[in-house]
Amino acid sequence: MEYTTPTEQQSREAIYALGEAERILSNPSPSYQELFLHHTVLTADTNGLQLLRMQPRYRARLEAVLEGIGRIAPEQNYSVTDAELIPGNWAQCIAGCEAKSLEVATLRQIAELRVKHGKDSEYCTNGRWAGEGQIYTPYGRLIITPREFNPLIANAEEATKAHGGKEFKEYYIDESILTRQLLSASLVLERDKIPSEILTKDFGNDTLTSFIGWGREYAELLEAKGITSIQFRACPKNYVKTQKKAFSRCLWVFDLGGDSAIDGSLLSYDGGCVFGVRRSGIQVGSSVHDSKGQQSTTGFSLTMAVLGFLIGHE
């Protein structure tokens, strides 16, 4: 692998990511979501990675961190086999889940349910809101939050009313909620890095599907229906620039007739729905089960394997 001297910024970011990962792993119950951003920094920048790998004082620490990360399962993505359909607008869906002690299925869990039940099942024939959220900032960033940091869940009534008034309004948020903990647990994309289309052959290897947990098994399900790519429909750049404050939107995944595209729909849509899921007590990594009940790792584990190879070879 070609190596050039890292810039001062690359060096700082790599060393900071290593230190933060060590700090999180020192906790009794370390969080995968908090680790994700630091893992991305450690693996995405060739020069930063090589800096840590080539210096003895960092190399042993890097190996220990990567081993520790590999043992952590994303707590929001426990395995599910079935779900309950909760219909209504966003506020009604959240209230319905809370009344039954259910959680809104994440994008990975929706994919898992679709794979388990098949391409012609009810899980594949209707669109759904997912548990993750989107936050757009006026200066161009898109932040995709995991379910536990989605501001639309805690403020479902207020957010739904904002979208459902006589005149549509965004659900604006105070940027003070964008804490280091939230940002570390989320996927942060600069405006020019937001994908508009992802090929199914790249599932699990690109930044977005790796974060949301769409891997090879879900890609194969889509390909069986003739779908070779999905659209990610972010808010238009020029529209975001007109907003004076940060605002939050949901994530809606279309049915297979809509090519499993992802976008943000109106929270006030009365024909909406979510899958309500219950924690099974068994946590799994970023994988979905195929029809034979086998697991296959996604891009996160693949990156870990590649990085392990790099560490072991000068």
Mean pLDDT in residue range 198-226: 95
pLDDT-derived band at 89 (thresholds 50, 70, 90) equals: very high
Amino acid 46: pLDDT: 53
Q: What is the pLDDT of residue 294?
A: 35
Residue 229 CB coordination number (10 Å):
15
Q: To the nearest whole number, what is the mean pLDDT of the chain?
A: 80
Whether 252 is in a domain gets the answer yes
For residues 33 and 119, membership in a common domain is answered with no
DSSP letters of 25-92? Answer: HTSSS--HHHHHHHHHHHHH-HHHHHHHHHSHHHHHHHHHHHHHHHT---GGG---S--EEEESSHHH
- 167 and 273 in a single domain? The answer is yes
State the total domains in the chain: 2
Assess whether 50 and 107 both reside in one domain: no
Q: Across-strand partners of 115?
A: none
> What is the per-residue pLDDT for 229?
98
pLDDT tens profile 6-64 = 677 777 877 888 888 888 888 776 665 566 556 655 655 456 667 777 788 888 888 88
The reply to whether 271 falls in a domain is yes
* Same domain (yes/no): 103, 138: yes
182 and 40 share a domain?
no
Specify the pTM.
0.66
Which span out of 137-151, 170-184, 280-294 was modeled with the highest average pLDDT?
A: 137-151
Q: Torsion angle of alpha carbons 93, 94, 99, 102, nearest 10°?
A: 100
Determine, yes or no, domain membership for 3. no
Final residue belonging to a domain, choices 51, 72, 93: 72
Give the structural domain span for 63: 8-72
pLDDT of residue 68: 78
Which pLDDT belongs to residue 216? 94
Q: Do 91 and 54 fall within a single domain?
A: no
Do residues 142 and 281 share a domain? Answer: yes
**Does residue 249 lie in a domain region?**
yes
Q: Helix, strand, coil % (nearest 5) of the chain?
A: 45, 15, 35
**Which of 114, 90, 103, 85 has the alpha carbon at shortest distance from 230?**
114
The answer on 117 and 249 residing in a single domain is yes
141 found inside a domain:
yes
- A 10 A CB-CB count for 50 gives 19
